[in-house]
Structure formats: C-alpha cells, structure tokens
Amino acid sequence: MEIEKAGIPVAQITAMPTVAQALGPNRIIKGQGIVFPVGDSSLPAEEERELRRRLVREALEALSTDVT
C-alpha cells in the first residue's frame, strides 16, 4: 500500500486473496499455497517451474494492466 502510494505498481501473489483484498491492494494473484506462494513441492521440478512461470506471468500482466 505504501509502495503504491509512492507510485510504484504492486502485484501481490498470495494464497489468501480475501485477506489481501480486505487491505485494499489493487492487483492480486491467487498463489499456489500458504507455504509456497509460487511453487508446489508435490509437483515434479519441471512442472513446478512451469507453474511458477505462469504465476509470475500473471503478475506481470496485472502490472501492465490499467485497473482504474
């Protein structure tokens, strides 16, 4: 919130988007899990990497999208 006040857009990746929403950020991406927002230790390494790529790409898309 303070970072956005300074004019820098933030995309938040979190497994608890409703908690995040209550605090009012503008760009939220649902993460994979509490203990690994951008990973999943139950997946094979390459699939896990692909999952992480997808979440980070979503975050980057959110950052380049106008939300006003």
Binding residues for other proteins, rule: CB under 8 A, are 1-16, 20, 22-27, 31, 34-41, 45, 48-49, 52-53, 55-56, 59-60, 63-68
Q: At closest approach, how far in Å is the CB of 25 from other proteins?
A: 8
Q: At closest approach, how far in Å is the CB of 35 from other proteins?
A: 5
Rounded CA-CA distance 52/40 in Å is: 9
Q: Which residues contact 50 (CB under 8 A, 6 or more apart)?
A: none
Q: At closest approach, how far in Å is the CB of 52 from other proteins?
A: 5
Q: Do 13 and 31 touch, CB atoms closer than 8 A?
A: yes
